[in-house]
Amino acid sequence: MPITDRIKTLREKSLNAKETLSSERAELLTAFYQQETGLLSTPVKRAKSFAYLLEHKHIEIYPGELMVGEKGPAPKTAPTFPELCCHSLSDLDILNSREKTSFHVEPATRRAYQETVIPFWQNKSMRELILNEMTEEWKAAYEAGIFTEFMEQRAPGHTVLDDKIYHKGMLDFQAEIDRRLSALDFLNDPEAYDKQEELRAMHIAAGALIRFGERYAQMAEEQAEAEADPLRRLELEKIASVCRHVPAHAPSDFHEALQYYWFVHLGVTTELNTWDAFCPGKLDQHLLQFYDLNKHGREYYEELLHSFWIKFNNQPAPPKVGVTAAESGTYTDFAQINIGGLRPDGSDGVNEVSYLLLDVIEEMRLLQPSSSVQVSKKNPDKFVRRAARIIRTGFGQPSIFNADLIVQELVRMGKDVTDARCGGSSGCVEVGAFGKEAYILTGYFNLPKVLELTLHSGIDPRTGRKLGLETGDPRTFTSFDELFAAFEQQVLHFVDIKVRGNNVIENLYAKYMPSPFLSLLTDDCIARGKDYHAGGARYNTSYIQGVGVGTMTDILSAIKKHIFEDKVMDMSALLSILASDFNGFERERQMLLNRTPRYGNDDDAADNLMVRVFEAYYNAVDGRRNMRGGEYHINLLPTTCHIYFGSVTGATADGRKAWTPLSEGVSPVQGADRNGPTAAARSVSKMDHARTGGTLLNQKFTPQVLANDEGLDKLVSLVRGYFKLDGHHIQFNVVDAETLKAAQANPGEYRSLIVRVAGYSDYFCDLSKTLQDEIIARTEHEGF
C-alpha cells in the first residue's frame, strides 16, 4: 500500500533530524540524587530515580503522530547516562566534531555538563568504578586491543521481550509483586530483605510506567480539546484512550499493543542504556491476536506499524566514545524484530502479520529497527522468497536466521525446549530465550592478535610490552602443532584475564546498578525477588565474541604450508617480513596470498584449521561459570570491531598488511573466497554452529545475479542449503563495487545508500573510510 502523507512527513523528519546529545536525563538524574538523600536501599533508590525521570522528562505529541513517546526530549535526541559513563567536556567536544557518528552538542548542553552533571558524577560512574577494579594485566590487554569490554560505557543488554505484556498490564505485574512480597519468609530466608527491596523497587518501576502513560493521555486529551480538525481530534482521543488503558492494563487492540510495547521500550532504555536497546522479539506472533481484518482494513494496521517503525528510527544508540565507539561505530541501536520461525509448540510460526511486517520493512526502508526472518524448515518458501525480494532491493534487511538451529543452540545451553522456541536472535546474531534470559555480551576477543603475541612469545610487537605467557621462541618450534599448542595456551591465558574482569563487573552491576524495571519484565526475576543483573532471570548467559576466524585460518594455513610443509620460508624470515610490513617483500606477500589454501573455498586443507581455531576458542570459553549462576558461551561476530582489532594488529602471514581490517564474523577474508557462495557456505558450515550462541556470515552479490526470479529462487536455495548444513545466519549485500566506489567518491549523491556491515545495516556514507574499503574488498559473487 502507498505510504500516507503523514507517515511520509514523519519519516522524512526522522531521516533529516540530526543526532543530538541531550543532557535532560543527566540533569534530571542529578537533581534526583541531589534531593534524595534519605536512607534507601539501592534498588529502591534506582526505581525512584526511574520514576522521577518518567515524571519530569519533556513529553510531546507531534502533529500527525499515532504512536507517541521519545527516549529523549525530541526525535533523534540521545539521553546520556552519567551514572554509567560520565562524559567529560572533551568527550562532548569529540562527539560534537568527529567525522563519523557525531552527535550535535548544544552550548547549553555543554554548560549543563560543566556546571551540574560533571561536578556531581565525576568519580562516581560505573565506568570509573569498573576501570578502577580491573587488574594491571587486564588493563594492559585491554589497551593492546586483545579484547574489549561491553559494560565499560553501557549496561548489560540483549534484552528481548516475550509475549507477556500482551496479556498483562503493569497493574497485573504489581499484583504479582504484591503476592511475592506478602509471601516473603523473614524467619527462614536470609535473603528475604534483599528480595523485599528488589520487589518494592519493581513495584515502583511498574507504577512509574503507568504514570508515564497517563501523562501522554492527559496531553492527548488537552490537544484533542484544542484541535480544530475533527479527524485529528478523533485520533487524539484514540491516543488518549490508548494511553489511559496501557500500560496499566493488558492491551485490547492492535494500537494499544504497539503503544504498550513502545512505552516499555522507552522504560527499559530510560532506566539504563542497555546494549541493543530493547526488542519486541517475535512481533508477528505477538500481534496476530490483535490483527482482525473485520475490524479494520489492512492499511489501518500498516499505518500503525509505519508509525511504530519511525519511533525506532528516532532513537540513535547512546553516544559512545573511545574503544566502545570503535567496536560499535554506528548510530544503530540494534533493536531487531524477529519474523517467522517457530511457535511455542514447534509449528510453523509464519502468519499473515509476518507478511504485513515484511511489507512494512520494504516500504519504510529505515535503518532501525533492524529486522530478521527466522527461517525454519517448516516455514514455506513463499515466506523466504518474500524476504529475499526485500534483500534484493539492497539495503541489507532483513537478515536471515536458521530457526531450527537456534532451538538446538538454546537447548544445548540448557533451555527448556519451549523457552528455546520462544527465543530467537537479537542484536547482530546472538541468541537467547526471549523474556526469560539475561544473555550478556561482554566483549570482543581478538584471535589474530593473540597469535601475533604467540609469535613473539607473549610480547606485543606493536608496543614491546610483555602481555602474554612466555610460550617460547617460535623459531625453535619444530612442528606446526607446537605453534598451535602455544597459541592455545595464550588464548586460555587471555580468556582467564577477560573472565576475571567480567566476573567483577557482573558483581558491580548487581550491587550498584540494579534495573528493577527491566527485571519485572524478565522471568523469573519477580518469582526469585532478584534483579536482572544479579541472576534473577531464568537463564543467565555470558558471551565472549571471537573476531577474525577467517584471518586466523589463513594465517595458520600459510604458516603450516610454507614453513612447516613446503619449507620455502623459515619462521625467522617470516617474522622479519611481517615486522617490515612486507616492505620489499611483495613476492612473498603474493605467495602467502595466492599460494596458500584459504578458508572459504571448501578446501579441507584450510577449513580443518578453521575448525581447530574454533575448537581452541570454544574450549577456552564455553562452560565457565559466571557470577549469575549461568555459563559462558561463545559467539562469532564483530559489529565494527574487526576494523578496530585490525588497527592494533601488525602484518599477518596471510598477506594482510599491518593495521588493516581483519575478516568479519565467520566470513572468509575479504576476497579470499573465490569458488562461489556455495563453497564459502560449505567452508563456514564446517564449524559446529550448534555449539555457539551465534555466528555471522556476510555474502555480497552483484545485483545482476538476483535480477530475475530465477536468481531469487537460487538465492533462497542457497540459504536453505546453508541452513541444512546447520549454518546459523547469512546476510547479503546486493550492490556492486562500482556503486560503492562511486559513493565513496561522491558521498553527497549517495546519502541514502544502505549496506550491510556485520549483523546490521548502515548508511554507507556514515561508515569510516577503512570500513568502506573493507566492504568494497569483500568478494563479489556473480553467476557463472
Partner 1 sequence: MIFDIKKYSINDGPGIRTTVFFSGCPLSCLWCHNPESISFVPQLLHRQGRCLMCGACVEACPEGAIRLDFNTSNERTAESQNTMVPGAVLTDRQKCTRCQTCIATCYSGARQFSGREVTVQEVMEQVKREIPFYEESDGGVTFSGGEPLIQPGFLSELLVACREQEIHTAVDTSGFSNWNVFEKIRRNVDLFLYDLKLMDNARHKEVTGVPNPVILENLRKLVEYQHKVLVRIPLIPGINDDEENLVESAKFLASLPKLEGVELMGYHDIAQAKYEALSRDYKLAGTKPPTEEAMLRAAEFLKSYNLKIILR
Residues with a known catalytic role: 428, 430
The DSSP annotation for 450-485 comes to: HHHHHTTTTB-TTT--B-S-----GGG--SHHHHHH
| Stretch binding partner 1 (CB under 8 A), from 86-94, 157-165, 216-224, 583-591 | 583-591
Which among 75-83, 114-122, 405-413, 672-680 is the span making contact with partner 1, rule CB under 8 A?
Answer: 672-680
DSSP class of 689: G
Q: Which of 64, 346, 721, 747 binds partner 1 (CB under 8 A)?
A: 721
Residue type, 332: T
Q: Is the CB of residue 779 less than 8 Å from the CB of residue 668?
A: yes
594 binds partner 1 (CB under 8 A): yes
Instruction: Label the pairing between strands 399-402 and 729-734.
Output: antiparallel
Q: How far is the CB of 419 from partner 1 (least distance, A)?
A: 30
**Exposure on the CB side of residue 96, measured as CA atoms within 13 A:** 14
Q: Residue 573, interface with partner 1 (CB under 8 A)?
A: no
Amino acid of residue 438: A
Please answer whether residues 598 and 554 qualify as being in contact, where contact means their C-beta atoms are separated by less than 8 angstroms: yes
Q: Which is nearer to partner 1, 299 or 710 (CB)?
A: 710
Write down the least CB distance from residue 717 to partner 1, Å: 3
Interatomic CA distance for residues 22 and 329, integer angstroms: 19
Among 507, 608, 619, 678, binds partner 1 (CB under 8 A): 678
Judged by CB under 8 A, the residue of 459, 469, 679, 777 near partner 1 is 679
Minimum CB separation from partner 1 for residue 576, in Å? Answer: 17
Beta-carbon count within 10 A of 535 CB: 18
Size of the residue set binding partner 1 (CB under 8 A):
29
> Based on CB atoms, which residue is closest to partner 1, 346 or 711?
711
Query: Does 654 help bind partner 1 (rule: CB under 8 A)?
Result: no
Dihedral over Cα of 611, 499, 627, 521: its sign: negative
Beta-carbon count within 10 A of 594 CB: 9
Query: Of 45-53, 590-598, 625-633, 748-756, which segment contacts partner 1 by CB under 8 A?
Result: 590-598
Q: Report the alpha-carbon distance of residue 162 to residue 435 in Å, rounded.
A: 5
* Total residue length of the chain: 784
Which is nearer to partner 1, 625 or 724 (by Cβ)? 724
The residue within the footprint of partner 1, chosen from 364, 718, 735, 754 (CB under 8 A), is 718
Nearer to partner 1, 456 or 781 (CB): 781
Q: Which is nearer to partner 1, 120 or 723 (CB)?
A: 723
Among 296, 412, 466, 595, binds partner 1 (CB under 8 A): 595
User: Is 682 near partner 1 (CB under 8 A)?
Assistant: yes
Is residue 463 near partner 1 by the rule CB under 8 A? no
CA distance 306 to 561: 55
Q: Whose Cβ is closer to partner 1: residue 453's or residue 563's?
A: 563
CA-to-CA distance for 461 and 775, rounded, in angstroms?
A: 28
Site mask for partner 1 (CB under 8 A), range 688-717, x = bound: -----------------x----xx-xx--x
Q: Whose Cβ is closer to partner 1: residue 434's or residue 582's?
A: 582
What is d(CA 431, CA 413) in angstroms, rounded to the nearest whole number? Answer: 10
Q: Which is nearer to partner 1, 658 or 718 (CB)?
A: 718
Closest CB to partner 1 among residues 165, 705: 705
Q: Which of 580, 590, 746, 752 binds partner 1 (CB under 8 A)?
A: 590
Least distance in Å: CB of 385 to partner 1?
13
Per-residue exposure over 126-165, b if at least 16 CB sit within 10 Å of its own CB, e if not: bbebbeeebeebbebbbebbbbbbbbbbbbbbbbbbbbbb
| Binder among 724, 741, 751, 769 for partner 1 (CB under 8 A) | 724
Window of 573-581, 638-646, 719-727, 751-759 that interacts with partner 1 by CB under 8 A: 719-727
Question: Taking Cα atoms as reference points, which of 782, 721, 5, 75 lies closest to residue 402?
Answer: 721
CB of 555 to partner 1, least distance (A): 18
Answer yes or no whether residue 781 interacts with partner 1 by CB under 8 A. Answer: yes
Q: Are 589 and 655 in contact (CB under 8 A)?
A: yes
Provide, rounded to whole angstroms, the least separation between the CB of residue 751 and partner 1: 29
Nearest approach, Cβ of residue 716 and partner 1 (Å): 8
Residue (711 or 747) nearer to partner 1, CB? 711
Q: CB 725 → partner 1: shortest distance, Å?
A: 6
Among 394, 396, 638, 676, contact with partner 1 (rule: CB under 8 A) = 676
CB neighbours of 266 closer than 8 A, spacing ≥ 6? 69, 70, 71, 212
Least distance to partner 1, CB of residue 587, Å: 4
Q: Residue from 267, 597, 638, 677 that binds partner 1 (CB under 8 A)?
A: 677
Distance of alpha carbon 376 from alpha carbon 723, whole angstroms: 9
The least distance separating partner 1 from the CB of residue 386, rounded to whole angstroms, comes to: 17
- Options 218, 647, 675, 770; binder of partner 1; rule CB under 8 A: 675
Cβ-proximal residues to 352 (8 Å cutoff; 6+ apart), any chain:
288, 291
What's the CA gap between 469 and 98, in Å, rounded?
38
- CA–CA separation, 700 and 723 (whole Å): 18
Helix, strand, coil percentages (3-state) for the chain, rounded to 5, are: 50, 10, 35
480-512 and 136-144 helices cross at what angle (nearest 10)? 110
Least distance in Å: CB of 710 to partner 1? 8
Q: Does 741 help bind partner 1 (rule: CB under 8 A)?
A: no
Identify whether the C-beta of residue 363 lies closer than 8 Å to the C-beta of residue 354: no
Is the CB of 451 or the CB of 558 nearer to partner 1? Answer: 558
User: What letter would DSSP give residue 531?
Assistant: -
> Of 40 and 679, which CB lies nearer to partner 1 in the complex structure?
679
Site map (CB under 8 A) of partner 1, residues 614-643, x = contact = ------------------------------
Q: Give the whole-angstrom CA distance, residue 582 versus residue 590.
A: 10
Burial of 294: CB neighbours in 10 Å, binned 0-12, 13-18, 19+? exposed
Give Dmax (Cα) for the chain.
86
Q: How far is the CB of 556 from partner 1 (least distance, A)?
A: 20
Contact set for partner 1, span 260-299 (CB under 8 A): none
Q: Per CB under 8 A, does 137 bind partner 1?
A: no
Q: Which is nearer to partner 1, 412 or 595 (CB)?
A: 595
Minimal distance in Å, beta carbon 681 to partner 1?
8
Angstrom distance (rounded) from CA 599 to CA 611: 10
Nearest Cα neighbor of 761 from 361, 266, 363 is 361
431-446: b (≥16 Cβ within 10 Å) or e: bbbbbbbbbbbbbbbb
Q: Does 586 bind partner 1 (CB under 8 A)?
A: yes
Q: Is 108 left (phi over 0), alpha (psi -120 to 50) or beta?
A: alpha
Phi, psi of 710 (to 5 degrees): -65, -45
- Burial class of 526 by CB neighbour count within 10 A (0 to 12, 13 to 18, 19+): buried
* Cα(247)–Cα(267) distance, integer angstroms: 11
588 belongs to the binding site for partner 1 (CB under 8 A):
yes
Bridge partners of residue 99, in order along the sequence: none
Verify binding: residue 567, partner 1, rule CB under 8 A. Answer: no
| Span of 62-70, 286-294, 512-520, 721-729 interacting with partner 1 by CB under 8 A | 721-729
Single out the segment in contact with partner 1 by CB under 8 A; choices: 245-253, 267-275, 428-436, 669-677. 669-677
Per CB under 8 A, residues contacting partner 1 are 586-588, 590-591, 593-595, 602, 675-679, 682, 705, 710-711, 713-714, 717-718, 720-721, 724-725, 781, 783-784
